[in-house]
């Protein structure tokens, strides 16, 4: 059985601020921004090259804004990713080296925490 992760919900306080951060600063593609009612707004964004998207909005999740930890994506080069994020005014960590890869860390405006991993040579 194949199981494909396609969507992860992120809790945010300000939908427009979060969308601006993910699209303008991180370069995610804005797939959907649909207001269904006064209680429901669905925003779906996809990182470039990813088969999995994120979603946030109104009525999407009841998790506390900023409570997501451990979101991780893979990049080809951690140094290049760090430089690009810094150039886009994202507060990003220095590259950290581990036997299981090279990482840079950042958070969205609400504090949802991300890691970008450069995989070690196989």
94 vs 30: CA distance, rounded Å: 28
In terms of residue numbers, what domain contains 26?
A: 1-61
74 and 53 co-located in one domain: no
pLDDT tens per residue across span 109-122: 999 999 999 999 88
Q: What is the pTM of this model?
A: 0.94
Question: 82 and 51 share a domain?
Answer: no
Q: Using CA atoms, how far apart are residues 5 and 12, in angstroms rounded to an integer?
A: 21
Q: What is the pLDDT of residues 91-101, one digit of tens each?
A: 999 999 999 99
Nearest CA-CA partner of 118 in 87, 68, 82, 90: 82
Same domain, 115 and 88: yes
Query: How many domains is the chain partitioned into structurally?
Result: 2
């Amino acid at each position: 059985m194949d199981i494909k992760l396609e969507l992860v919900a992120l809790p945010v306080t300000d939908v427009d601020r979060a969308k601006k951060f993910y699209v303008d600063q991180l370069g995610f593609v804005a797939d959907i921004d649909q207001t269904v009612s006064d209680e429901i707004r669905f925003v779906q964004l996809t990182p470039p090259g990813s088969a999995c998207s994120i979603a946030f909005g109104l009525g999407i999740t009841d998790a506390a804004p900023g409570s997501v930890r451990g979101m991780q994506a893979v990049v080809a080069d951690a140094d290049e990713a760090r430089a690009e994020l810094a150039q886009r005014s994202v507060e990003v960590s220095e590259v950290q080296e581990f036997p299981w890869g090279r990482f840079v860390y950042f958070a969205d405006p609400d504090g949802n925490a991300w890691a970008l991993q450069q995989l070690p040579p196989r």
